[in-house]
């Protein structure tokens, strides 16, 4: 009989841990590639606890357990995880090691899966737990897998070719560049384990992870330019094999760990952020010398080439028309009171499917009505679904995966009600306008080459700070080309803390989001998000050196009735008018009838 309750699953895990002489176990949201989004087979934390967010972890001890999430999921975790089974803890302020030290007996053995954690995490956690007289122990097989009776199998979907017209460079050229990089660093090979890096390097895509077009596999690139691709062989057809040529040998995925022993005496690059501890250990056990160094595909992947840049523009144009049609539909149907979060998300997906070659959404749509908008990464389901009430704020954060680009856009609108509820109240318009002012300030910013993402973050927050407001998430993340909607290494966020990548200088060709927000717990949330492309800027009479700025890629009207126009200065009004003129120029040829009339009105100057 299958275990249906989370309490039963927790009890089963504790029994399994006791059988292994373990007094606790770490449960991350992760797979063996350290992916942000993972396949159903790897959703161990959700199966165990019910938590459906994309970041978080749990610690299970004999008599108690705790959930650890950051500020994005503070509200969501309380809605999805039983507080009688798990304590709610926030990171980075609450350290799991300290919690274990306070709740586990000295001499306890706490298990972890070496294929779900980085070596850095293992080293740090081992040291912290040792201070409490507690030992961190690698497990032989994940204990959750032993009790998860109906655990899904990994996806059987076939990999497919990403055409050079979209990729902009051949896989052969990319592998040759990696080989030269290896030689320059006196390395013999590189383990590439991040799924999007494998896909980018080989010009291959897949359907193995929801919302992310990647194939479950590993890649080993040698200094002579040859490579081994570890993937389940029945996922590779003749077209894929021919695209790769003879220089790439296809090997069964389950042979990957054992193959690392064949690198005896070799110096092998492994990314410390994506290469799990199990990879380092397997290399060392086989006599190789793993060298912790950033995956050589990371930066080239982040710096989009001209073909990828144009692909993004083309995808954004189609996507923008779809979102515009949705917003017009919502403006008509929302005030009638018959739309809920799920039906709104479904309707938006229908519009996207009608506007081009949509392969998937780029993430689960954040369709957040009223108080749900106060949870930045809210995820609607049948249990949480509520109506879009007339006289309330609605936030929708969504995106699509197209062969030529990945989109991500947030718009916040007012669902009109009767009488005084026909328009947003003054507080909502004030907060919306302050978010917009920050968005405009970042969009318009010009900065010298070498500027880090963390140095730009305050620009987007300053108008909120002046009103004593802030938001608990980053301002911008990287975006892939028909790949991950959250792509590193670049990021715009408060320096340090929970956000990696803020020290990465922004480089020409990098695509980022620009998404400041405001969230009032229990009432509403506001976010305005466009994607931008980092580009060179020429400044008259500038000092020597290279200067950069942003090209705005996302083209969808911003809600005019949410504005307090009096808070905008002349430059901000000029930005609004220029942006909407561009939106109209790109979207108008794609729309007709009532949709075109709506666009004409939405893009009028202020």
Write the CA distances from 315 to 319, 403, 404, 531, integer angstroms.
Answer: 6, 8, 6, 12
Q: What are phi and psi of 533, to 5 degrees?
A: -110, 125
Please tell me the predicted confidence (pLDDT) of residue 36: 87
The helix (H) or strand (E) run that includes residue 430 is helix 426-444
pTM of the model: 0.94
- 213 falls in which pLDDT band (50, 70, 90)? very high
Q: Closest Cα to residue 439, out of 373, 512, 500?
A: 512
Joined tokens for residue 487: 């792509």
What confidence tens digit (pLDDT) does each residue in 377-430 have? 888 999 899 999 999 999 999 999 999 999 999 999 999 999 999 999 999 999
- 234 falls in which pLDDT band (50, 70, 90)? very high
Could you tell me how many residues make up the chain? 606
- Residues near 259 by beta carbon (within 8 Å), at least 6 away in sequence: 220, 228, 230, 251
Write the CA distances from 521 to 72, 93, 374, 375, 576, integer angstroms.
Answer: 12, 20, 5, 8, 29
- 151 falls in which pLDDT band (50, 70, 90)? very high
Sorted by where each starts, the structural domains of the chain and their CATH numbers stand as 6-147 (3.40.350.10), 160-301 (3.40.350.10), 303-602 (3.90.230.10)
Joined tokens for residue 563: 């504005």
Write the CA distances from 496 to 19, 457, 469, integer angstroms.
Answer: 40, 12, 20
Please tell me the predicted confidence (pLDDT) of residue 54: 81
Q: Is residue 552 over pLDDT 60?
A: yes
- 3 falls in which pLDDT band (50, 70, 90)? low
Average pLDDT over every residue of 279-302 = 97
Q: Dihedral angle at the C-alpha atoms of 222, 228, 229, 233, nearest 10 degrees? A: 180
Please tell me the predicted confidence (pLDDT) of residue 4: 80
- 500 falls in which pLDDT band (50, 70, 90)? low
Please tell me the predicted confidence (pLDDT) of residue 393: 98
- DSSP-derived 3-state class of residue 379: coil
Q: Is residue 551 over pLDDT 80?
A: yes
The pLDDT > 70 percentage for the chain reads: 99
Q: Is 309 left (phi over 0), alpha (psi -120 to 50) or beta?
A: alpha
Please tell me the predicted confidence (pLDDT) of residue 497: 59
What confidence tens digit (pLDDT) does each residue in 51-101 have? 988 889 999 999 999 999 987 788 889 989 999 999 999 988 999 999 999
CB 477 within 8 A of CB 464: no
Q: What is the mean pLDDT of the chain?
A: 96
- DSSP-derived 3-state class of residue 23: coil
Average pLDDT over every residue of 136-144 = 97
Q: Closest Cα to residue 413, out of 293, 296, 556?
A: 556
Please tell me the predicted confidence (pLDDT) of residue 1: 45
Please tell me the predicted confidence (pLDDT) of residue 64: 96
Could you tell me whether strands 248-251 and 227-230 are parallel, antiparallel, or unpaired per DSSP bridges? parallel
Write the CA distances from 374 to 42, 106, 395, 396, integer angstroms.
Answer: 28, 41, 9, 12
- Look at 10-24, 297-311, 532-546 and tell me which has the smallest mean pLDDT: 532-546
Please tell me the predicted confidence (pLDDT) of residue 240: 98
Q: Is residue 501 over pLDDT 70?
A: no
């Amino acid at each position: 009989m299958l275990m249906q309750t989370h309490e039963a699953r927790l009890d089963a895990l504790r029994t399994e841990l006791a059988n292994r002489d373990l007094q606790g176990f770490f449960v991350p949201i992760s797979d063996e590639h350290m992916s942000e989004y993972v396949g159903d087979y790897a959703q161990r934390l959700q199966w165990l606890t019910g938590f459906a967010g994309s970041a978080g972890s749990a610690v299970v001890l004999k008599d108690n357990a705790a959930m650890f999430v950051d500020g994005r999921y503070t509200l969501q975790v309380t809605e999805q995880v039983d507080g009688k089974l798990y304590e709610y803890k926030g990171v980075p302020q609450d350290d799991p090691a300290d919690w274990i030290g306070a709740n586990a007996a000295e001499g306890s053995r706490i298990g972890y899966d070496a294929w779900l954690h980085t070596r850095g995490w293992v080293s740090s956690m081992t040291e912290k737990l040792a201070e409490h007289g507690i030992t961190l122990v690698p497990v032989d097989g994940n204990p959750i897998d032993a009790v998860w009776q109906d655990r899904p199998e990994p996806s059987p979907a076939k990999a497919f070719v990403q055409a050079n017209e979209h990729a902009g460079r051949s896989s052969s050229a990319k592998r040759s560049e990696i080989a030269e990089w290896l030689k320059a660093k006196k390395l013999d090979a590189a383990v590439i384990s991040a799924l999007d890096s494998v896909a980018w390097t080989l010009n291959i895509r897949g359907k193995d992870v929801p919302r992310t077009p990647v194939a479950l596999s590993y890649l080993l690139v040698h200094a002579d330019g040859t490579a081994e691709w570890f993937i389940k062989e029945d996922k590779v057809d003749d077209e894929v094999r021919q695209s790769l040529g003879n220089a790439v040998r296809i090997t069964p995925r389950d042979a990957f760990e054992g193959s690392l022993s064949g690198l005896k005496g070799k110096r092998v690059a492994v990314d410390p952020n994506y290469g799990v501890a199990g990879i380092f250990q397997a290399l060392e056990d086989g006599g190789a010398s793993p060298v912790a160094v950033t995956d050589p595909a990371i930066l080239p992947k982040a710096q989009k080439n001209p073909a990828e840049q144009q692909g993004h523009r083309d995808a954004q144009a189609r996507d923008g028309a779809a979102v515009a049609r949705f917003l017009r539909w919502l403006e008509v149907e929302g005030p009638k009171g018959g739309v809920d979060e799920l039906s709104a998300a479904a309707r938006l997906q229908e519009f996207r499917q009608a506007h081009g070659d949509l392969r998937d959404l780029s993430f689960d749509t954040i369709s957040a009505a009223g108080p749900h908008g106060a949870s930045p990464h809210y995820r609607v389901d049948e249990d949480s679904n509520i109506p879009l009430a007339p006289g309330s704020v609605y936030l929708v954060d969504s995106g699509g995966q197209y062969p030529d680009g990945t989109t991500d856009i947030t718009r916040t609108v007012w669902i009109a009600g009767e009488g005084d509820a026909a328009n947003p109240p003054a507080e909502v318009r004030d907060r919306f306008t302050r978010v917009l002012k920050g968005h405009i300030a970042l969009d318009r910013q010009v900065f010298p080459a070498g500027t880090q993402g963390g140095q730009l973050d305050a620009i987007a927050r300053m108008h909120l700070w002046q009103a004593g407001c802030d938001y608990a998430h980053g301002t911008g993340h990287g975006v892939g080309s028909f790949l991950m909607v959250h792509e590193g290494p670049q990021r715009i966020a408060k320096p340090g803390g929970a956000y990696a990548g803020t020290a990465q200088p922004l480089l020409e060709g990098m695509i980022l989001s620009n998404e400041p927000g405001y969230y009032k717990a229990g009432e509403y949330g506001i976010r305005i998000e466009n994607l931008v492309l980092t580009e060179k800027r020429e400044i008259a009479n500038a000092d020597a050196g290279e200067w950069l700025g942003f090209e705005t890629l996302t083209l969808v009207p911003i809600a005019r009735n949410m504005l307090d126009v009096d808070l905008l200065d002349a430059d901000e009004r000029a930005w609004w008018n220029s942006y909407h003129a561009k939106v109209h120029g790109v979207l108008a040829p794609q729309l007709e009838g009532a949709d075109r009339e709506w666009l004409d009105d939405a893009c009028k100057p202020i």
